[in-house]
Structure 1
Amino acid sequence: MPAVVGAPASVSAQSAQPSCSFPFSATDATGTNVTVDSEPERVVALQPSAAQTMWEIDADGKVVGLPIGPTTSYLNGSESRTDVTGNDGFSTSIETVVSLEPDLVLAPNSVPNETVETLRNAGVTVYKFGLSGSIADVSNKTIRTGRLVGACGAADQRVASLNETVASIESATTGQDRPRVLYVMSGGYTPGNGTFIHEIITIAGGENIAATANITGYQQINPETVIQQDPQWIIAPDHMSTLPNRTAYAATTALEKDQTVRVDSNYVSQPAPRVVRPMETLAQTFHPDAFDAENVSSPSDGTNTAPGSQTTATTGPGFSVVAAVLAVLTLTGALFARR
């Protein structure tokens, strides 16, 4: 089912209807007006965030292909689908996707336009999403996904639940003193303004020192800036067993007081509905009394979450000052997690 290029669609993600009708057309991030003629029965998700969204809107039964590995293993039943990852472990296997004969392919922003065009030239309908730089973008992406695959009602309900959780967290943290926070990534990178991770930190009641230092997007942060801003908390994704071996980190209040927290690397790096999980963890870490008083609870993931995949806060032994100062970061390939 090839993509159809033409006039922009009148239906937007923000105005999705509770029931879906087809054909449906919408302009994607490549400027292509993509038409889905009938409700898709076979869907391929090219990146984990698209797969997570399909699971979250109870449309996982339609998914026939996705990247198989640590970034999707938390999705129940994902291992039974076809792996669409290329031989290099990162790119998309065009031949595999085409062989699955999908009615629709969902391509997050990290998928190269060349991959999208190659699939379209092979007669495959592909919708590419734009960059998700905010929680609102995640919500809109979820609604648009539901509209594309015929799960409008479930998508609307999931977004309503997400927004309710966000509102509860904001209510709990409003008026609280905001601790200075640094989110660390491989190679000294950190998320700044214009990233949904920045919004996670902000909504959770923290002050992202990268944004304060006028960092936009994902950039390396100067060690002198870290010392000057002196974060009171350091956050890291849970695939990092230790912090980078950087002297600047050792001089921070965060490490002097052993105030570090790890969040689920899949939930925090994939712009999809479960971003509320690390947000909830951080709010409870930064403002435990206010958070408990607000009685915030994130929506249940039902049977679609694999065991052992919940976001947890980790402080003290095992992620200590000594380990942070002495250990060498070994997971350099995780700088830009698959999304």
Structure 2
Amino acid sequence: MNQRIAAVLLVLVTVFAGVPAPVAADHDGQCSFPMTVTDATGTEVTMSEDPERVVTTNPSAAQTMWEIGAKDEVVGVSQFAQYLDGASEKANVSGSGGLSVEAVIGLEPDVVLVPNTTYTVEKDRIAQLRDAGLTVVVFESGDSLEAVADKVERIGRITGNCEAGTERADEMRTSIENMERALEDVERPVGLNVFFGYAAGGETFISEIMTTGGLRNGAAEAGFTGFGEINEELVVEMNPEYLVVPSHAPIPSSPAYNSTTAIEEGNVVVVDANNLQQPAPRAIDASETILKAVHPDAYERYQELQNQSETTETTTTTSETTTATPETTAGEQDATATADDPQTTESSAPGFSAVAAVVALALTAFVGRRL
């Protein structure tokens, strides 16, 4: 197994391990600057002005900036964000041994967005950025789709894109609600997310991607929490009816997996890894992919509900624009832009074996930047 596959195999060891307890954000209730927030490390971070130069150390943060229409503000991305349209035009802040502190400092960013995966494996380098006087915000682990939506709003606020962040987060919430409505009274088969012998259990955003898409997470129901190696005996006992596999991973093939209903009936859902394995807005696309494959009739109903939601939103916006005075409209926009509930999410430990943890530490120079 080459180094890249080994790194992908162990990448989730670090996603939920060693992350500081998330802290509620201190917001002043306005999308205005100066702004002070408390990040996941408990550090109070102040942005004196609306940031114009943003560095993202991880593809999930970059994807979020792209999804809220703020990619022009991004001056630096990691090597794993190159799938984003236009990312190749940005400076690469990844070095041969991990995050390049020199590259980040050289870009003179107004703010550096650090998802928990980067912080977990590169605490010393993040400390160096802070020691150099850079404004750094570390984010909580996204262990649910709601936590991901909250993070989208928070990134919008921190980067001066409040309205766009709130709008994109609300779109996510609407999609989740419409999928839930489309799946009412629909029987959900047992599914298993598997990649290189590892699986996503309960208390993970991938688990919610699966359940939102109309599956039961067999690993979670078996008491499997976080991310970790999946025992093939458990796979046989679970007998998943569907396998959910990220696009960069092979479909598992062994006597244990071949005996499952999923393999016997060809029920393997391959999902774009950049949607499935990043706690960012396109996680909703991963749920849609699963829903379409597992419940095609419910997917059609979901599409109808989505169209109705879009029509309602358009009608409401048009009505408000037509009837509201300029002062009222501005006030409504301010209220929308400033709506933000302080969030507190919890990290979950994957429960890897000691051997896996040791191997993970050996690969930390490569690992934490893939998700």
Cα pair distance change 1:227/1:335, threshold 3 Å: farther
Work out whether 1:174 is the aligned partner of 2:146: no
Work out whether 1:212 is the aligned partner of 2:212: no
Work out whether 1:64 is the aligned partner of 2:90: no
Identity of aligned residues (%): 41
Deviation for aligned residue 1:9: 5.8
Work out whether 1:25 is the aligned partner of 2:41: no
Cα pair distance change 1:37/1:86, threshold 3 Å: same
Instruction: Tell me which residue corresponds to 1:128.
Output: 138
CA contact (8 A) 1:9 1:33 kept: no
Count how many residue pairs are aligned between Structure 1 and Structure 2: 291
Instruction: Tell me which residue corresponds to 1:10.
Output: 26
Work out whether 1:151 is the aligned partner of 2:152: no
Aligned-partner Cα distance in 1 for 2:296–2:367: 30
CA contact (8 A) 1:173 1:283 kept: no
Work out whether 1:118 is the aligned partner of 2:128: yes
Work out whether 1:260 is the aligned partner of 2:268: yes
Work out whether 1:281 is the aligned partner of 2:313: no
Equivalent position amino acid for 2:219 in 1:
A
Work out whether 1:138 is the aligned partner of 2:148: yes
Deviations 1:57-100 (A, max 9, x none): 111111000013xx423321110000000113xx2000000000
Equivalent position amino acid for 1:272 in 2:
A
Aligned-partner Cα distance in 2 for 1:9–1:268: 27
Aligned-partner Cα distance in 2 for 1:8–1:135: 17
Give the alignment's TM-score, normalised by structure 2: 0.74
CA contact (8 A) 2:59 2:369 kept: no
Deviations 1:135-182 (A, max 9, x none): 111011111101111000000111111111111111111221111101
Instruction: Tell me which residue corresponds to 1:164.
Output: 174
Deviations 1:170-198 (A, max 9, x none): 11112211111011112x11001110000
Aligned-partner Cα distance in 2 for 1:41–1:130: 23
Deviation for aligned residue 1:43: 0.5
Aligned-partner Cα distance in 1 for 2:25–2:273: 35
Query: Which consecutive unaligned segments of at least 5 residues does structure 1 have?
Result: 1-6, 301-331
Deviation for aligned residue 1:337: 6.7
CA contact (8 A) 2:57 2:369 kept: no
Aligned-partner Cα distance in 2 for 1:8–1:160: 20
Equivalent position amino acid for 2:282 in 1:
R
CA contact (8 A) 2:194 2:244 kept: yes
Query: Which consecutive unaligned segments of at least 5 residues does structure 2 have?
Result: 1-22, 311-362
CA contact (8 A) 1:84 1:97 kept: yes
Give the alignment's TM-score, normalised by structure 1: 0.81
Aligned-partner Cα distance in 2 for 1:230–1:159: 35
Deviation for aligned residue 1:8: 8.1
Deviation for aligned residue 1:246: 2.5
Provide runs of 4+ in structure 1 moved above 4 Å: 296-300, 332-337
* 2:118 alignment partner, SS class: coil
Q: Equivalent of 1:227, from 227, 233, 236?
A: 236
Cα pair distance change 1:36/1:8, threshold 3 Å: farther
Work out whether 1:108 is the aligned partner of 2:118: no
* 1:215 alignment partner, SS class: coil
Instruction: Tell me which residue corresponds to 1:96.
Output: 103
Aligned-partner Cα distance in 1 for 2:60–2:108: 21
Equivalent position amino acid for 1:102 in 2:
P
Equivalent position amino acid for 1:199 in 2:
E
Q: Equivalent of 2:211, from 202, 205, 214?
A: 202
Aligned-partner Cα distance in 2 for 1:338–1:80: 19
Instruction: Tell me which residue corresponds to 2:65.
Output: 54
Aligned-partner Cα distance in 1 for 2:42–2:302: 43
Equivalent position amino acid for 2:221 in 1:
T
